[in-house]
């Protein structure tokens, strides 16, 4: 035993109710993905250089069509909740992201499959989108844990800047499109972490 006393929740714990929602911030609006967003995604979120860390690379408009259709199918099944990211000052689609691995019984989920057009990378877009998604997860849906994952070869700085805690390495976790065995770095944010993470993000956004 490591001497840590686990938390105990009052039973029964009701499952989360996770439904499609629009998340609106100062600079960014996240809208549930629909077929109508296809053209905007093709216009601003194309190119294998920005999709290289995603398991479903999008290299052309046909790939984008497949990406959207698969996302909508998984959304109907309830396993993911996909969004398009809209940059409000220009009123244009600049990316996509989603909730996935949604576990309503255990009040946990993941944020991932985040792709942002090159012109809007390293701007307020990613930080505010993550802030909106985390706030919804913890404060509205009552999440106990949100996790994020990244390829071990990819920079983890963006996730660390959120205030997430690195929890471990999943070795030989995935087989990439080129045959490479991917090690995955796992990060987590708990409901107990959320207050500090929220203050950190609000300070950055201010």
CB 192 within 8 A of CB 201: no
39 SS3 class: helix
Q: Does residue 47 sit within a domain?
A: yes
Identify the bridge partners of residue 125 per DSSP, sorted by sequence position. none
Q: Give a yes or no: residue 13 inside a domain.
A: no
Q: In what order do the strands lie in the sheet with 181-190?
A: 23-24, 28-32, 80-87, 92-103, 108-116, 145-151, 181-190, 165-175
- The answer to whether the CB of 33 falls within 8 A of the CB of 72 is yes
Q: Is the pLDDT of residue 5 over 90?
A: no
Domain that residue 164 falls in: 23-205
The pTM for the full model equals 0.94
Q: What is the pLDDT of residue 3?
A: 66
What's the pLDDT at 1? Answer: 52
Query: Please, what's the b/e burial string for 133-155 (b: 16 or more CB within 10 A of its CB; e: otherwise)?
Result: bbbbbbeebebbbbbbbbbeeee
Residue 6 lies in a domain: no
The two three-digit tokens of residue 87, written as one number = 């940059």
Q: What is the mean pLDDT of residues 172-176?
A: 91
pLDDT of 150 over the 60 cut: yes
Q: What is the pLDDT of residues 40-61, one digit of tens each?
A: 999 999 976 889 888 877 989 9
How does pLDDT run across 79-114, given as a tens digit for each residue?
Answer: 899 999 999 999 999 999 999 999 999 999 999 999
Tell me the CATH number at 51: 3.40.630.30
| Assigned domain for 98 exists | yes
More confident of the two residues 157 and 83: 83
Helix-, strand-, coil-residue percentages of the chain, each rounded to 5: 35, 30, 35
Examine residue 117 and state whether it is found in any structural domain, yes or no.
Answer: yes
Q: CB-based contacts of 100: which residues, under 8 Å, 6+ apart? A: 79, 80, 81, 109, 110, 111, 112, 113
Q: What percent of the chain has pLDDT over 70?
A: 98
Residue 176 confidence class, pLDDT cut points 50, 70, 90? confident
Whether 10 is covered by a domain: the verdict is no
* Residue 2 binned pLDDT confidence (cut-offs 50, 70, 90): low
Number of residues that this document lists for the chain: 206
Assess if residue 191 is contained within a domain. yes
Domain count, the chain: 1
Report the range of poorest mean pLDDT among 1-5, 23-27, 110-114, 154-158. 1-5
Higher pLDDT, 10 or 133: 133
In a domain? residue 83: yes
């Amino acid at each position: 035993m490591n001497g840590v006393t686990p938390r105990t929740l009052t039973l029964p714990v009701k499952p989360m109710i996770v439904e499609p929602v629009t998340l609106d911030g100062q600079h960014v609006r996240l809208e549930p993905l629909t077929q109508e967003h296809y053209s905007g995604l093709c216009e601003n979120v194309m190119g294998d250089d920005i999709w290289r860390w995603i398991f479903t690379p999008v290299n052309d408009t046909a790939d984008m069509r497949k990406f959207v259709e698969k996302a909508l199918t998984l959304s109907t099944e309830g396993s993911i909740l996909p969004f398009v990211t809209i940059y409000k000052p220009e009123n244009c689609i600049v990316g996509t992201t989603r909730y996935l691995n949604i576990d309503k019984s255990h009040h946990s989920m993941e944020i991932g499959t985040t792709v942002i057009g090159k012109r809007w990378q390293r701007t307020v877009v990613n930080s505010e989108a993550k802030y909106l998604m985390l706030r919804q997860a913890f404060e509205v849906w009552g999440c106990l844990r949100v996790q994020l994952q990244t390829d071990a070869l990819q920079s983890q700085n963006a996730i660390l800047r959120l205030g997430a805690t690195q929890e471990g390495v999943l070795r030989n976790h995935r087989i990439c499109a080129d045959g490479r065995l991917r090690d995955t770095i796992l990060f987590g944010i708990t409901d107990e972490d959320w207050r500090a993470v929220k203050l950190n993000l609000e300070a950055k956004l201010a």
